[in-house]
């Protein structure tokens, strides 16, 4: 959260000139292997350690490579932040022009996509390579607010000698991540930068306001899209009887009838059936920019084969469609453990123990289940975790007969899967 302890680099009343000189001396002492009188802040110390280990040079000679204009435009079009860049400009740009600062917006890869603000400061930033199409991650330009905020997953303000590169010492920079308010996914970073001796403590509040505005506007755009989808689909909904969901391309629910309300289901696709809690196996039907999702029938089942003859792949067959999806090794381990547990299923603690050897990784387990559902749909029920009753699950091992003899097992780090392999010979799929 912006404003958290340790975020700001200065406090009201700080003598900026003196503090800048102290920080430059601190930087030179640390980089030279000495013991500075002033110790770096924790966030700076962590970042310098990472950057020094990467082998970057502190003299500012690290290579800046700019993306071509067509790639910048392509990234802008794909970025959800394109929807809010005008709002960010309205909040910051006028202030930036009058206060000798720049507003920069980068994507989740640290690529600068938009820049606005003082013309005089833009010229100085050009000489630094701080412009559209440049990658400002720690690995390319050292400790800087954009790259360090991405690495830390938190707001960062840096002043003068806290930057790793000496060429950045005449600057301050203040950056905070922007997340998708629907999913929590990182979308990018908003940054305010300028000459170091112009830094004002209120800059942190300005960046905080920008982030809150961006995330609020992203949510409003989402709601507006769902409203438009409901309007377009109204005739189809009026003529539909029985349980039905209306969802957008990402599975966000615009309307539900005959089924318990839910915010989101797995993203539908025209070539695959999917399972939905409360509905079972469903078939999606395109309507406007979204989908009508209805029950495929009470007896419809999905056959899911986990193919471990090479890199893990799952093959799913419904009534009239078959599709394949690559899986991570961790997701394949989860499916094996859940299949072996049967209808009894596994608690979060049980699954953590099976995957990691102890029950203390509940957060990681929940995150992996969420990612698995994005790939396969709601094939994993919760409380406890278990494969959905509509799923008939099989395992294919290729040229070997036992899981214990498979290449997959040799690469697996899951204690539960390794224990399972010693006693389990999965049946070969019939066909």
| Pairing, β 112-117 against β 156-159 | unpaired
CATH topology of domain 302-421: Arc Repressor Mutant, subunit A (1.10.10)
DSSP class of residue 266? P
CA distances from 309 to 14, 306, 418 (A): 64, 9, 17
Cβ of 147: how many Cβ atoms within 10 Å? 27
Q: Where in the chain is the domain with CATH 1.10.10.10?
A: 302-421
* CATH topology for the 16-220 domain: Beta-Lactamase (3.30.450)
* Ramachandran angles phi, psi of 305, nearest 5°: -110, 125
Which residues belong to CATH 3.30.450.40 in the chain? 16-220
194 and 100 Cβ atoms separated by less than 8 Å: yes
Let me know: does 265 contact 283? Beta carbons within 8 Å: no
CA distance 148 to 145: 5
pLDDT on residue 3: 42
Q: Which residue has the tokens 């330009």?
A: 141
Nearest to 132 by CA among 108, 105, 93: 105
- pTM, two decimal places: 0.70
Q: Are 182 and 252 in contact (CB under 8 A)?
A: yes
* pLDDT of amino acid 37: 82
Residue 276 confidence (pLDDT): 77
User: How many Cα atoms occupy the beta-carbon half-sphere of 189 within 13 Å?
Assistant: 31
- What pLDDT score was predicted for residue 5? 45
107 near 75, Cβ under 8 Å? yes
CA–CA dist 391, 295 (Å, integer): 15
- Residue 24: CB atoms within 10 Å: 17
Note down pLDDT in tens along the chain; length 431 residues. 444 444 888 989 999 999 999 999 999 999 888 888 889 999 999 999 999 998 898 987 777 889 999 999 999 999 999 999 999 988 887 787 778 899 999 999 999 999 998 888 999 999 999 999 999 999 999 999 999 999 999 999 999 999 999 999 999 999 999 999 988 889 999 999 999 999 999 999 999 999 999 999 999 999 999 999 999 999 888 887 788 899 998 889 999 888 777 788 878 877 677 777 667 778 788 998 999 988 776 556 678 889 988 899 988 776 555 677 889 999 999 999 999 888 889 999 999 999 999 998 988 899 898 888 777 766 788 889 988 877 888 888 888 878 888 888 888 889 988 888 877 655 544 44
166 Rama sector, left if φ>0, alpha if ψ -120 to 50, beta otherwise: alpha
Place of tokens 């942190």: 204
**416 token code pair:** 């539960």
> Residue 412: left if φ>0, alpha if ψ -120 to 50, beta else—which one?
beta
The 3-state secondary structure of 156-213 reads EEEEHHHCCCHHHCCEEEEEEEEECCCCCCEEEEEEEEEEHHHCCCCHHHHHHHHHHH
What is the DSSP annotation of 84-132? THHHHIIIIIHHHHHTT-EEEEEETTSBEEEEEE-HHHHHHHHHHT-ST
Residue 361 in tokens: 């990784």
Q: For residue 294, how far is the Cα from the chain centroid?
A: 30
CA–CA dist 34, 24 (Å, integer): 13
pLDDT at position 297, please?
A: 63
């Amino acid at each position: 959260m912006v404003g958290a302890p340790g975020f700001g680099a200065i406090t009201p009343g700080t003598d900026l000139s003196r503090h800048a000189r102290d920080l430059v001396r601190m930087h030179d002492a640390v980089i030279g292997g000495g013991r500075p009188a002033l110790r770096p802040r924790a966030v700076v110390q962590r970042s310098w350690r990472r950057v020094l280990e990467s082998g970057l040079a502190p003299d500012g000679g690290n290579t800046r490579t700019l993306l071509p204009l067509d790639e910048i435009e392509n990234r802008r079009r794909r970025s959800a932040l394109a929807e809010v860049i005008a709002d960010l400009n309205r909040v910051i740009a006028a202030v930036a022009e009058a206060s000798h600062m720049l507003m920069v917006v980068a994507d989740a890869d640290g690529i600068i996509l938009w820049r606005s603000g003082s013309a005089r400061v833009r010229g100085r930033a050009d000489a630094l390579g701080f412009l559209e199409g440049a990658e400002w991650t720690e690995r390319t330009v050292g400790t800087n607010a954009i790259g360090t905020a991405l690495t830390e997953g938190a707001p960062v303000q840096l002043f003068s000698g806290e930057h790793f590169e000496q060429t950045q010492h005449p600057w301050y920079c203040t950056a905070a991540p922007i997340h998708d308010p629907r999913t929590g996914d990182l979308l990018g970073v908003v940054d305010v930068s300028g000459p170091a001796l112009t830094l004002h403590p209120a800059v942190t509040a300005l960046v905080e306001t920008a982030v809150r505005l961006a995330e609020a506007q992203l949510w409003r755009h989402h709601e507006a899209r769902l409203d438009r989808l409901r309007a377009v689909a109204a005739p189809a909904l009026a003529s539909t009887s029985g349980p039905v969901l209306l969802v957008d391309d990402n599975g966000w629910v615009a309307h539900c009838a005959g089924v318990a309300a839910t915010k989101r289901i797995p993203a539908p696709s025209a070539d695959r059936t999917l399972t939905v809690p409360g509905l079972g196996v469903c078939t999606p039907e395109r309507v406007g920019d979204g989908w009508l999702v209805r029950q495929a029938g009470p007896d419809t089942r999905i056959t899911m084969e986990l193919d471990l003859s090479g890199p893990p792949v799952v093959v799913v067959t419904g009534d009239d469609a078959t599709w394949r999806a690559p899986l991570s090794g961790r997701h394949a381990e989860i499916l094996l453990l859940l299949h072996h547990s049967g209808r009894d299923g596994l608690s979060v603690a049980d699954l953590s123990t099976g995957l990691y050897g102890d029950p203390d990784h509940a957060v990681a387990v929940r995150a992996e289940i969420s990612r698995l559902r994005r790939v396969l749909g709601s094939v994993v029920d919760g409380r406890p975790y278990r494969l959905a009753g509509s799923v008939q699950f099989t395992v294919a091992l290729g040229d070997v007969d036992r899981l214990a003899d498979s290449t997959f097992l040799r690469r697996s780090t899951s204690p539960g899967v390794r224990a399972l392999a010693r006693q389990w010979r999965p049946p070969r799929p019939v066909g």
